[in-house]
Structure 1
Amino acid sequence: MPAFSRRVALVALALFAAVPFSSGGAFAQSAKDVSREMILNDPAAPVGGNPKGDLTIVAYVDYNCPYCKETAVTLDRVAREDGKIRIVYKDWPILRPSSIDGAMMALAAQYQGKYETAHHALMGIKGRDTTRDQMRQALRAAGIDMKRLDADLKKNRGAINTLIKRNMAQGDALGFPGTPSFLVGPFRASTLDYKNFKLIIADARAKQAEMK
């Protein structure tokens, strides 16, 4: 697991300090799509934890990323223990073709109110090259209505694709090197263990208080 430097996070990774309000590359979107408001409050993005929490963590993840799978459990634990953390999930399928399948199915599960159920089911699959069939099996075992999921995916494919492209553009604009990548209040970071999640959360709250 990559080491996390608290000093680097605090000194070098101030959120939005250098975020361009346009994004190049294949997933170029409008300035609005990569704005601070859409990164934090995209109405289409799934939200977990405490929706009214005093600190937002934005998580850019891929369902074939082993580090994402490790940190998903830790982030869930930290948010549950803290009780005042709002999590914004950004499906960022950049590693494998099946990553796109996973993102599409997780976001389709949102239409039956089970995004987080799907998210944790997919993150719970071992390995880094998960097949679409394995993903479907995990979702079914987690209690997702697969018939409805398929229907919702077919009906809302355009909206889901647009959201994923928006997430891609944001990751590009923020200059993230890969998954997982997190925005924790006014800071950003990569893979975090339990201790360092707690540290950066405390620092983020302190920084937010200074900025008020």
Structure 2
Amino acid sequence: MIPAARHLATLALTTCLVAGPVAAQDFSEEEIKQLALQAILENPEIVMEAVAILQARDEEEAAAAARASLDDDRDMLERDPNAPVVGNPDGDVTVVEFFDYNCPYCRRAGEQVSAMLETEDNVRVVYREWPILGEGSVFAARAALASREQGKYEDFHKALMQARGRVDDRVVLQIAAGVGLDLDQLQADMDAPEVQAHIDTSMQLAQSLGFSGTPSFVVGSALAPGLIDADQLIEMIEAAREDL
């Protein structure tokens, strides 16, 4: 019996047992199902109650799993040598951002991260390239990671985030040329194993943390899926400092 049906059956049995001294084990599974159906027909609000209970339980279990994953993966999240870092590399608080260059909310989030860094000089930001919005996103992420070999990651990242409309192979290479990247070297470096390793690790970390889309942030012990503004980021950073 599925969990929802089992919960409904329990409610039905409770109703019956109140009416008389009948042991639960005296009912067959088929009789329990019939009691559950009868209870639903007589009290349809039971369905919503059961759904709410199951949803709350699932959310609690997911949150607990995410917290456990955060503890297990903190070193990889904050200190992965294969992840780009901006801001103060020796900062006391680390902000981890998962993003996709074709995500409009990520572009807005990038502006908020930049605004935060203008006022916070003791924060390091770790970028996790998480291309989940198609082939153009994958090409952009690979190109951005490859640009590290030419020392242009931060400039290229900002330029990609400022692009209008979707980025694809052609747009990415145009932007790359605009920031002074050698395109032949860039495209060769895109096939480096560390490029794919970074993307694979981003996918693994995002899934284990329960993130389902971009942008998503980790600040200290806090998980923040979705777009947040600079003030919210600063509040989370200050809370993380209190926990140090």
> CA–CA distance in 2 between the matches of 1:89 and 1:68?
12
Counterpart of 2:231 (choices 187, 195, 210) is 195
> CA–CA distance in 2 between the matches of 1:72 and 1:143?
21
Counterpart of 1:149 (choices 178, 186, 198) is 186
- The alpha-carbon deviation at position 144 of structure 1 amounts to 2.1
Q: Which residue identity lines up with residue 147 of structure 2 in the other structure?
A: A
Give per-residue Cα distances to partners, 1:163-184, cap 9 Å, x unaligned.
2111111101110021000111
- The alpha-carbon deviation at position 92 of structure 1 amounts to 0.2
1:159 maps to 194
1:130 maps to 167
- The alpha-carbon deviation at position 148 of structure 1 amounts to 2.3
Identity in percent? 38
Distance 1:140 1:13, change over 3 A: farther
1:183 maps to 218
Q: TM-score, normalised by structure 1?
A: 0.79
- The alpha-carbon deviation at position 132 of structure 1 amounts to 1.5
* Higher Cα radius of gyration: 2
Q: Which residue identity lines up with residue 178 of structure 1 in the other structure?
A: G
Counterpart of 2:132 (choices 63, 85, 94) is 94
Judge conservation of contact 1:13–1:187 (CA < 8 Å) in 2: no
Give per-residue Cα distances to partners, 1:101-128, cap 9 Å, x unaligned.
010000000111111111111111122x
- The alpha-carbon deviation at position 85 of structure 1 amounts to 0.6
Structure 1 residue ranges, 4+ long, deviating more than 3 angstroms after superposition: 12-16
2:83 maps to 45
Judge conservation of contact 2:93–2:220 (CA < 8 Å) in 1: yes
2:190 match: secondary structure: helix
Give per-residue Cα distances to partners, 1:57-94, cap 9 Å, x unaligned.
00100000001001112102211321111011100001
Judge conservation of contact 2:136–2:167 (CA < 8 Å) in 1: yes
> CA–CA distance in 2 between the matches of 1:159 and 1:54?
27
Unmatched runs of 5 consecutive residues or more in structure 2:
1-61
Distance 1:113 1:177, change over 3 A: same
Judge conservation of contact 1:104–1:153 (CA < 8 Å) in 2: yes
1:24 maps to none
Name the one with the larger helix percent: 2
Q: How many residues align?
A: 182
> CA–CA distance in 2 between the matches of 1:119 and 1:15?
32
1:116 maps to 154
